Structure 1
Amino acid sequence: MSVELTASQALGLWHQVSLQQVQEDKRDLTLRQMAILLQIYLVPPPHTVRGLAATLGVTKPVITRALDTMGEMGLVDRVRDERDRRSVIVKRTVGGALFLEKLGDLIIDQGRRLGY
């Protein structure tokens, strides 16, 4: 199934989803944090700080700061790679999976309300 949206319709959907997300969920993720979270959950693992930095085109400290915040929110977890102790593996959590499942449902619901 394919949905064709104009740029205005796509932005309207994003706007409605963003508004409802802010109203219903007290966690305030930045666009960068959301991109990292989606990368971790939608792209098969493993995920490393180094790999995420390369994918997003930012430095490792930028990823680390984002992961610190997201870890405090229970959305991701980090562990040392047992094969390479210098590397940090970023893991999914149940809390993160539930957050994104709810967000996905919200996007579907808002799309339907807007008639898409």
Structure 2
Amino acid sequence: MSEKTNPKMLRLWREAMLSDVRSSHPDLTMRQMSVLLSVYMTEPPHTVRGLAKELKVTKPVITRALDTLGKLDLLKRLPDENDKRSITVARTVKGAVFLSELSDILVEAERRLDAEDA
């Protein structure tokens, strides 16, 4: 590993992901997770164009991620009230619960690693 590698963060990520894999959560790609986190961690409104610009990817990448996240009810598309040709991306209760549970998994993984290091 290089000098810039943070082994603790990588161990934390690994532990959290192992716990998540063992849960009933759907498997999301990194792109899907990035879109989901962007919508939940930044102020609305969110659009395909805006998300593509923020994540520095193309609009089709965002559209594919939204297709999956919509099917899982983690996000939803709504008509833009100001521009009927456009849509906005909105949060859902299921998406908020999903991220809350993921946060709990990360906290627990950090607790376990801290106990191992003590």
Cα shift readout 1:4-47 (whole Å, capped 9, x = no counterpart): xx700100000011111111134010001111111000111111
Within 5 A, what are the aligned runs for 1:1-116?
Answer: 7-115=6-114
- Max Rg structure: 2
Distance 2:35 2:8 in 1: 25
Distance 1:31 1:86 in 2: 29
SS at match of 1:13: helix
Return structure 1 stretches of 4+ with deviation > 4 angstroms: none
Deviation at 1:54, TM superposition (A): 0.5
| Mapped contact 2:25–2:98 kept (Cα < 8 A) | no
RMSD of aligned alpha carbons? 1.3
Aligned length: 111
Amino acid paired to 1:93? T
Identical pairs, percent: 52
Distance 1:40 1:25 in 2: 22
TM-score normalised according to structure 2 size = 0.90
TM-score normalised according to structure 1 size = 0.91
Distance 2:90 2:25 in 1: 22
Deviation at 1:62, TM superposition (A): 1.0
Unaligned stretches of 5+ in structure 1? 1-5
Unaligned stretches of 5+ in structure 2? none
Amino acid paired to 1:51? G
